[in-house]
Amino acid sequence: MAISFNETNKVFKLDAGASTYAFMIEPNGYVAHLYYGPEVASDAFAYLYRPMERAFSPAAPGTTAPESRDVILQEFGTNGVGDFHAPSIIVRQGNGHTVTDFKYRSHQIRKGKPALPGLPATFGSDDDVDTLELSLYDEASDVEILLRYSAFRKYNAIARSVQVVNHSAETVHLEKIASAALDFADGLLDLIHLPGAWARERSVERHPVNHSRTVLESVRGLSSHQQNPFFALATPETTERNGEIFGAALLYSGNFAAEIELDQFNQLRAQIGINERTFEWTLAPGESFTAPEVLLVYSRDGIGGMSRTFHDMFRNHLIRSYWKDLKRPILVNNWEATYFDFDAKKLLSIARDAADLGIEMLVLDDGWFGRRNDDRSSLGDWFVNEEKLDGGLGKLVKEVNQLGLKFGLWFEPEMISRESELFRAHPDWCLHVPGRGASEGRNQLVLDMSRPEVVDYLYETICKVLDSANIEYIKWDANRHLTEVGSAVMPADRQKEVSHRYVLGMYELHERLLKRYPKLLIEGCSGGGGRFDAGMLYYVPQIWTSDDTDAIERLKIQYGTSLVYPCSTMGAHISDCPNHQTGRINPFATRGYVALSGTFGYELDLNKMNDEERAEIRKQVAAYHKYNHLVAQGDLYRLTDPFNPGTVVVIWEHAAKDGSEALVTMVQPRNVPNGQLFRVRLCGLDPAGVYKEEKSGVCYTGEMLMNAGLNVPRYERDGAGELFHFVRI
């Protein structure tokens, strides 16, 4: 098995791929972290346990000063007994106190990996993964925490989750619960994270940790554009290709917080979980609470090695969709072509052009329901606006299908308009706080997804629409963040549960729809990439990466997203120019090069394309069918960094896992007169293999391409680009 326990030295050892994770039961009953890094065959890690003399730190009851919780690396930080770092758990008991003192009680090791009720989680067979469940118990409060570790045998990946159980005869209140904590003996590391904004999601930021507590968080109700529920810690010398890095991705789509704290001994605690600012949970006697899962990844092959492990784990052990290993249909979305101004005739005109050009799906975006002619009404009224679509969706979809196209539809299930039949019937169904006004974003309010009757209503009305026509795709949008987070049906002392219950309700709706329509392709969206997280990938195989479709901006957005998430999950489309978000004009071909590294589609009016553009679309469609297997299933290598001001040409590579072929994409964001001449070294090839470049016919050995490199052309205009396809002969 990948997990073992040495009864003599009390060491637990987890071997995940080529990495090892180890901790021990201390003589005093606490659980101390020992090691996380490259694979080690031995389990003789107990020598790393190091109490510290003269630390000026109080000792917990039953321990001595050198064993203070303030100086010993731990698996899960306790509260109020001498550990002055950010605690991993806070439990308020009936006496009002929050002191807890969790010690080892028991453990179980078994094959496979259990699911988490109502939450996304990685999965694997008995041959893929082993799981340790470690019970820690606080005698005074009669509360137990179950720490679960699942080690994947083929990958440097460990999934962790936590369950809290109230065994006492009184109600307790869970005020904070991290999903995983990592303590490092040498904490002089660099923090890498993904801040951003709407239309500028997941920029890459890196800086040394310092002697303070850094918090990366969202309190917006969604994982957010502003921070992603991910962080990595790397040794200062780590680069894209070399060095050690530890990554943590939270499988959760709501408010989160990651805390990174370097202490007085240069020891570091990093943890991530639900954000305590907007959370509390009441546990009556006998009740339990399960926190979301965290996926930990270790790499000694640099940032790129970490990314490729996350990609493989998500593709093989998180995404469940019928579509996960299938080529996604090329779609055209009508939004930027028509906005709200459309009818069946206009849509069918776009569909006819799409069929002629080889596009495979028409997606009808906002404006098809209720009395929706602008963004001020009808959210929640999920019935067809027959003034626009005479004969309803059934007639339209049938005609689209007769043209050889699939049909998709936009929904925004979690939102409600004041001007809607639903709001008039159920004004208390929106999130609100009595006696206060309700903030609006995009002229809309948010439905209280914590209420079962709201979830039931949405399920029933969406099913009625899906049953009315052959709808094979949904774009699921959420165009505002949560404010006045209160529920009309929750008691006053449980209102801080609403944010988490909202997320659970949203997950439940996804789960119910997928059980009823297992072949339905759902694309997640939240004002673009505002809920691009690992939790959503359990329910949807792809997410709209950003509302910014400008190809040059997408170089950074898709680069940052790829640090964690595979290209097969990134919604990436070609849009019109001047671009609707930036006003920039980019070559039509380059827009295609960038979009080909995602799920691929179009956001423009096909009726307005000239002959040259139509010919380019046909070339792009052919390229998608030829190369998508490399994008969806191959290994991604980021060869240059668009965030580096010195980068002249942005280059990335999709290589087949068997080294048989590779697709290299180059895009020059801006022209630099008399600029640099350089080569780029490729990756993932067979050194002894001979590769023919498809366009030029030139042959190279894999060793030449990976060691000597490929000459990068000089491009003469902003936004110029090129594809290179290498095939082993």
Tens-digit pLDDT profile for residues 695-719:
999 999 999 999 999 999 989 889 9
Q: What CATH fold (topology level) applies to the domain 3-317?
A: Beta-galactosidase; Chain A, domain 5 (2.70.98)
* Phi then psi dihedrals of residue 185, to 5 deg: -70, -40
Residue 357: CA count within 13 A, CB half-sphere: 31
| Positions of CATH 3.20.20.70 in the chain | 333-540
**Active-site residue, 550 included:** no
Q: What CATH superfamily is the domain 333-540?
A: Aldolase class I (3.20.20.70)
The average pLDDT across 139-149 equals: 98
Q: ∠40-44-47 over CA atoms, to 5°?
A: 115
Express each pLDDT in 152-195 by its tens digit: 999 999 999 999 999 999 999 999 999 999 999 999 999 999 99
Query: Residue 55 above 90 pLDDT?
Result: no
Q: Residue 677: is its pLDDT beyond 90? A: no
Per-residue DSSP letters for 10-23?
A: TEEEEEETTEEEEE
pLDDT of residue 198: 97
CA distance 458 to 415: 10
Whether residue 505 contacts residue 440, with contact meaning beta carbons closer than 8 Å, is answered with no
**Residue 63 pLDDT:** 87
Residue 640 confidence class, pLDDT cut points 50, 70, 90: very high
pLDDT of residue 56: 85
Question: By percentage, how much of the chain surpasses pLDDT 70?
Answer: 100
pLDDT of residue 716: 86
Residues 307-324: pLDDT tens digits? 999 999 999 999 999 999
Kindly give the interhelix angle for 452-467 and 498-516, rounded to the nearest 10 degrees: 30
User: Which pLDDT does position 351 carry in this prediction?
Assistant: 98
Is the pLDDT at 675 greater than 90? The verdict is: no
Residue span(s) of the chain under CATH 2.60.40.1180 come to 638-728
Q: What is the pLDDT of residue 666?
A: 98
Nearest one of 542, 480, 24 to 331, comparing CA atoms: 542
Residue closest to 299 by CA, chosen among 186, 157, 152: 157
211-228: average pLDDT? 97
- Choose the catalytic residue: 15, 183, 353, 477: 477
Give residue 114's region: left, alpha or beta (phi > 0; psi -120 to 50).
beta
In angstroms, the CA 291 to CA 162 distance is 5
CATH 2.70.98.60 occupies which residues in the chain?
A: 3-317
Which has the higher per-residue pLDDT, 672 or 584? 584
Residue 70 token pair: 């303030």
- Tell the CATH topology of 638-728: Immunoglobulin-like (2.60.40)
pLDDT (mean) for 255-260: 98
Residue 131 burial (CB count, 10 A): 22
Longest dimension (CA), the chain: 82
Q: What are phi and psi of 610, to 5 degrees?
A: -85, 175
Q: Is the pLDDT assigned to residue 674 strictly greater than 80?
A: no
- Token pair of 151, please? 């080690």
> How far is it, in rounded angstroms, from Cα 341 to Cα 257?
41
Residue 554: predicted pLDDT: 98
Residue 464 burial class via C-beta count within 10 angstroms: exposed 0-12, middle 13-18, buried 19 and up: exposed
| pLDDT of the residue at 188 | 97
Is residue 547 among the annotated active site residues? yes
**109-132 pLDDT per residue, tens:** 999 999 999 999 999 999 999 999
Distance, in Å, from the CA atom of 115 to the CA atom of 618, rounded to the nearest integer, reads 44
Please tell me the distance from the alpha carbon of residue 311 to that of residue 313, in angstroms, as a whole number.
5
> How many angstroms separate the CA atoms of 368 and 379, rounded?
11
Structure tokens, 419? 């001007």
Question: For the chain, what is the mean pLDDT?
Answer: 96
- pLDDT confidence of residue 682: 98
